[in-house]
Amino acid sequence: MINFQTSPNEYKHWKLDIAGQVATLTMDVQEDETLAEGYKLKLNSYDLGVDIELNDAIQRLRFEHPEVAVVVITSLKPRIFCAGANIYMLGSSSHAFKVNFCKFTNETRCAIEDDSKHSGRRYLAALNGTASGGGYELAIACDEIYLVDDGNSAVSLPEVPLLGVLPGTGGLTRLVDKRKVRRDRADVFSTLAEGLKGKRAKEWGLIDDHFTTSKFQDRLDARVAELVAGGKGSAATGIKLNPLHDYKYVKLKLNREQRYADLTVLGPEGPQPTTPEEIQKLGDAYWPLQAYRELDDALLNLRVNEPEIGLVCLRTKGSIESVLQIDETLTANRDQWLIREIILHMARVLRRLDLTAKSFFAIVEPGSCFAGNLLELLLASDRSYMLMDSDATIAVSEMNAGALPMSNGLTRLQSRFLAEPEKLDDVFGEKKTFDTEEAEELGLITFAPDDLDWEDEIRVAIEERTSLSPDALTGMEASLRFAGPETMDTKIYGRLTAWQNWIFQRPNAVGPEGALTNYGKPTQAHFDFKRT
Amino acid sequence: MINFQTSPNEYKHWKLDIAGQVATLTMDVQEDETLAEGYKLKLNSYDLGVDIELNDAIQRLRFEHPEVAVVVITSLKPRIFCAGANIYMLGSSSHAFKVNFCKFTNETRCAIEDDSKHSGRRYLAALNGTASGGGYELAIACDEIYLVDDGNSAVSLPEVPLLGVLPGTGGLTRLVDKRKVRRDRADVFSTLAEGLKGKRAKEWGLIDDHFTTSKFQDRLDARVAELVAGGKGSAATGIKLNPLHDYKYVKLKLNREQRYADLTVLGPEGPQPTTPEEIQKLGDAYWPLQAYRELDDALLNLRVNEPEIGLVCLRTKGSIESVLQIDETLTANRDQWLIREIILHMARVLRRLDLTAKSFFAIVEPGSCFAGNLLELLLASDRSYMLMDSDATIAVSEMNAGALPMSNGLTRLQSRFLAEPEKLDDVFGEKKTFDTEEAEELGLITFAPDDLDWEDEIRVAIEERTSLSPDALTGMEASLRFAGPETMDTKIYGRLTAWQNWIFQRPNAVGPEGALTNYGKPTQAHFDFKRT
């Protein structure tokens, strides 16, 4: 059972130091502190446990340290920044684990970019040694990359030449789409096991600059000072993210025999704060933060610890009015730093749902509160079932109009109404709450069975869904969920991930004679050279 | 050895009838006329042989029948339009063959859309019976879809529920991106083995209309007449596409032991026609048509018949001046129908190259003619090597500025200079021809070794490339070749294809207990239900 919760005083592999507006995240992987048996995390190589800490640190910076303007990511190991994902860990992991591992590390890299883009924090990769594979992919997720010139240190993506797999954390896409490295140079770089050092790496756009060992720290400090001086600063005080013990707002019921889960999100209860001051005081107990943190944890748990659960039935319970009041407060205060972070967090959790390789059905009944931000759960679902009952209602709020975008940059309503964008006007008209008939007429739900058919229809739908090939469903959902425009993120999760998953099964990588299997062994890889 | 050349009088599975401005392509698959052993093509199901004929027919329509304004695709079989790709053929094919089969059928569907978009020919799918799987995917590549209402006929994508694989010819992407079917409806439809009939299929946007059996032909004729009347008509006379015997302008040398090929395109020789009339008279012997038809055939041959060739070294030989003169003629007359078709054909062949799962290195020496349209070969390559010699030159023409777009809608020069779009001004400045130093300075080539290093550098590059995992190279190239924007085509070839290839290897599809393996057998599929 893998636990995704941690906190700085539990970190084994990272140190998080805050000095004024500058945070330094230092990687110092303890080689024996692995998440599983059978490998050692040498040379700052990582496994999922290391990345769970990184994810936590990024998250905490946003909530606990709003004063931080610049984050420096560096290493405590001499001559090595990070050697990437541990190869023996990959070689000994199941296909499903490798896929989930890469998805999570991708989400953490995207969270860094989300922070940079929306919260303005600058991330500097201070490569005080070689950054290879996932090490360079971590660097390329940062805003700026500086490499030490010590005659030895290089950046590299040695996956293709050494392991017969792809860089699994967005590296190829970021190379040509983010840093816009010329495709022929990207081709050379990605097949060059030893990578490139300072001068050429800079010339090709792989790094932003390189400094000799003696000047490295000074030049870096100068750049950090520049960024701090140019930033807008923040006098805000953070809130504490406490451990999630028993979930308060998320109820997860696992029907393992039938391979589906019921996930119910409970709406807020009782009076809710309406000013930033009150919210700051309430801290992580504020419903939108706590409920979505729990939802995030539940999704990660389902992905990694419950692989046989193929379907999640999403339900909500509570007062629509209360959810809409929350949304009103969030919308009215969205420029305040904490509210902004809460909304951005909600958006990331919903994107984690979009990217989860499970089917989602939303089930709407009287007592449900699929309203505003929680309506996104319904819109994110592969289908929705709403009981034909005048007491069953759903509602939209301003939060459905842009605050919680999908990876493709569209809102879930825009994605839904690609064919009829004018429907958005109907949905965002005067009327905000819709009963089943209205919801069906507007095209907001998939099915509206009546009371007589309700239980049978849901039961049969669950049985049918969970009887289908889980692989075909994953590919189908990945194709149907993201119509419309593409972004770097959708390229990473769609195209790159799909290719990597394909390669992760190929005998040339993971067979007895595959490159990943034979890495570091006296035996050599032997390829079937048929091109596919 | 699979032969991609055919002609209407050799067709076994299709009839191509032309009546005035209307062409009717009728599918009547002969079940015993298969490309391989072990399956029968029942119910208008198809194998690669059937699609090679379809591809030929579409191509011929463009060149031989410019008068045709509307193409009706229908079936001669009672109650069945097309059952899609033959399942037993898929079940008995190698992974590599399945992948190449789907790629080719995808290219043929995209060629239909290319014809519709750029040449204005309307394609009507007249579904006089059930269209399932690839049958519906063929329909959805057409502009309009009409289904008979006979109480039985339906459209369906039964791949996920019945076979545990994805619709392999762009169906899922076209569902939500082309027809913009709501994603929850697309989800339901794609998991419903029996599909949907007339009324609901229309309501959900899966078809354009449905007519009862007795009215079907009349209503269809009426729609065709409408389209013909609304079209601009064409008094042009086509040219004949003769069989390609020995290649005249393409030389293919297979170094099978070393797993690479040398593909040399010879430039035009002697005086070339400069007016549409002269070109029409010359017909398919006109260099840009013949050379690119040969190149197309060579690429298909390399893909399917030479799977172990991992790398193609692209060379050209001839006069740069002559190539540039051709481009001038093409550019000056690009609105004339034949020239337009020739240019569109060149663009499709170059896209076929972009999408070929082999590495491409362009090799430029004195005597090369990488100019204008042939410069695209260099720009499409993963890398280029140009000898540092004042006699080696490359050149741009107007044809590099938009006439030959990649699948992502960009020119290859735009893709190359994503980071520095201003470089396009330098490339398209007064000076059109560049020697090696200039080409390197402009960033048009990757490497410029001098005479001393030349042979060694090329030899080592070839050896290194062909030693790498062919699977990793395929995934890497698919990621690096298409930076920038995405289109429906790139989604189909990138995202959808990658997922399908992944699923095509999964035990749940092709293992002894997989759904594809067990289809139609008394045994049942058994899934490993772990979601990945």
The per-residue pLDDT for range B11-64, each reduced to its tens digit, is: 999 999 999 999 999 999 999 999 999 999 999 999 999 999 999 999 999 999
The CA distance from A449 to the nearest CA of chain B, in Å, is 15
Which residue, among B355, B463, B532, would best test binding to A if mutated, counting the most A CBs under 10 Å from its CB?
A: B532
Give every strand in the sheet of B155-156, ordered side by side: B79-82, B129-132, B155-156
* Cβ contact B415–A183 (<8 Å): yes
Strand partners, B14: B27
Selecting from B100, B165, B176 the residue whose C-beta is nearest the C-beta of A483 gives B176
Is B490's pLDDT higher than 80?
yes
CA atoms within 13 A on the CB side of B61: 33
pLDDT tens track for A387-402? 999 999 999 999 999 9
Selecting from A95, A382, A500 the residue whose C-beta is nearest the C-beta of B475 gives A500
Strand partners, B251: B264
pLDDT at A452: 97
The alpha carbon of A157 is separated from its chain's Cα centroid by a whole number of angstroms, namely 22
* Cβ contact A191–B416 (<8 Å): no
The CA distance from B454 to the nearest CA of chain A, in Å, is 17
Is B231's pLDDT higher than 90?
no
Kindly state the DSSP code that residue B7 receives in the 8-state scheme: -
Selecting from B382, B525, B530 the residue whose C-beta is nearest the C-beta of A308 gives B530
- For chain B, the maximum distance between any two Cα atoms, rounded to a whole number of angstroms, is 78
* Cβ contact B416–A183 (<8 Å): yes
Selecting from A165, A479, A509 the residue whose C-beta is nearest the C-beta of B173 gives A479
- Judging contacts by C-beta atoms under 8 Å, the chain B residues touching residue A309 are 531
Q: Can you give the pTM of this predicted structure?
A: 0.96
Residue A199's contacts (CB-CB under 8 Å, 6 or more residues apart) are A210
Which residue, among B194, B506, B531, would best test binding to A if mutated, counting the most A CBs under 10 Å from its CB?
A: B531
3-state secondary structure A387-444: CCCCCCEEECCHHHHCCCCCCCCCCHHHHHCCCCCCHHHHHCCCCCEEEHHHHHHHCC
pLDDT tens track for B148-206? 999 999 999 999 999 999 998 999 999 999 999 999 999 999 999 999 999 999 999 99
pLDDT tens track for A470-519? 999 999 999 999 999 999 999 999 999 999 999 999 999 999 999 999 99
A111 in Cβ contact with A58 (< 8 Å)? yes
* Cβ contact A475–B383 (<8 Å): no
* Cβ contact A183–B483 (<8 Å): yes
Selecting from B179, B416, B479 the residue whose C-beta is nearest the C-beta of A496 gives B479
- Judging contacts by C-beta atoms under 8 Å, the chain A residues touching residue B160 are 468-469, 472-473, 476
Measured distance CA(A183)–CA(A204) in Å, rounded: 11
Residue B466's contacts (CB-CB under 8 Å, 6 or more residues apart) are A529, B258, B259, B260, B310, B311
Q: Quickly state the pLDDT bin for B227 (edges 50, 70, 90).
A: very high
The CA distance from B314 to the nearest CA of chain A, in Å, is 15
pLDDT at A147: 98
Average pLDDT, integer, range B328-351: 98
How many helices (H) and strands (E) in chain B?
22, 18
B435 in Cβ contact with B390 (< 8 Å)? yes
pLDDT tens track for A20-47? 999 999 999 999 999 999 999 999 999 9
- Judging contacts by C-beta atoms under 8 Å, the chain B residues touching residue A308 are 529-531
The CA distance from B503 to the nearest CA of chain A, in Å, is 6
pLDDT at B62: 97
Is A232's pLDDT higher than 80?
no
* Cβ contact A502–B506 (<8 Å): no
Nearest-Cα residue of chain B relative to residue A500: B475
pLDDT tens track for A313-345? 999 999 999 999 999 999 999 999 999 999 999
Sign (positive/negative) of CA torsion A218, A223, A224, A230? positive
The CA distance from B311 to the nearest CA of chain A, in Å, is 9
Nearest-Cα residue of chain B relative to residue A493: B495
Which residue, among B157, B172, B183, would best test binding to A if mutated, counting the most A CBs under 10 Å from its CB?
A: B183
Measured distance CA(B113)–CA(B68) in Å, rounded: 15
The CA distance from A350 to the nearest CA of chain B, in Å, is 17
Kindly state the DSSP code that residue A153 receives in the 8-state scheme: -
pLDDT at B235: 84
Selecting from B182, B475, B506 the residue whose C-beta is nearest the C-beta of A416 gives B182
Q: Rg for chain A (alpha carbons), in Å?
A: 24
3-state secondary structure B272-318: CCCCHHHHHHHHHHCHHHHHHHHHHHHHHHHHHHCCCCCEEEEEEEC
* Cβ contact A480–B183 (<8 Å): yes
Tell me the pLDDT of chain A averaged across its residues: 96
Is A233's pLDDT higher than 90?
no
Token pair listed for A24: 């330094």
3-state secondary structure B111-169: HHHHHHHHHCCEEEEEECEEEECHHHHHHHCCCEEEEEECCCCCEECCHHHHHCCCCCC
Measured distance CA(B96)–CA(A531) in Å, rounded: 7
* Cβ contact B357–A532 (<8 Å): yes
A496 in Cβ contact with A106 (< 8 Å)? no
Average pLDDT, integer, range A372-384: 98
A440 in Cβ contact with A378 (< 8 Å)? no
Question: What sections of A27-94 are H helices per DSSP?
Answer: 48-64, 87-92
Selecting from B163, B470, B483 the residue whose C-beta is nearest the C-beta of A177 gives B483
The CA distance from A492 to the nearest CA of chain B, in Å, is 9
Which secondary-structure segment (H or E) carries A314? strand A311-317
Name the percent of chain B lying above pLDDT 70. Answer: 100
pLDDT at A486: 92
Give every strand in the sheet of A129-132, ordered side by side: A79-82, A129-132, A155-156
ipTM: 0.95
Is B232's pLDDT higher than 80?
no
pLDDT at A371: 98
Token pair listed for A428: 């965002």
Nearest-Cα residue of chain A relative to residue B102: A532
- Judging contacts by C-beta atoms under 8 Å, the chain B residues touching residue A525 are 469
* Cβ contact A532–B470 (<8 Å): yes
Beta pairing class for A209-212 and A260-266: unpaired
Amino acid at the residue B490: T
pLDDT at B233: 78
pLDDT at A235: 84
B324 in Cβ contact with B395 (< 8 Å)? yes
- Judging contacts by C-beta atoms under 8 Å, the chain A residues touching residue B381 are 184
Which residue, among A480, A481, A496, would best test binding to B if mutated, counting the most B CBs under 10 Å from its CB?
A: A480
- Judging contacts by C-beta atoms under 8 Å, the chain A residues touching residue B172 are 476, 479-480
Selecting from A181, A445, A470 the residue whose C-beta is nearest the C-beta of B531 gives A470
Is A231's pLDDT higher than 90?
no
Beta pairing class for B311-317 and B359-364: parallel
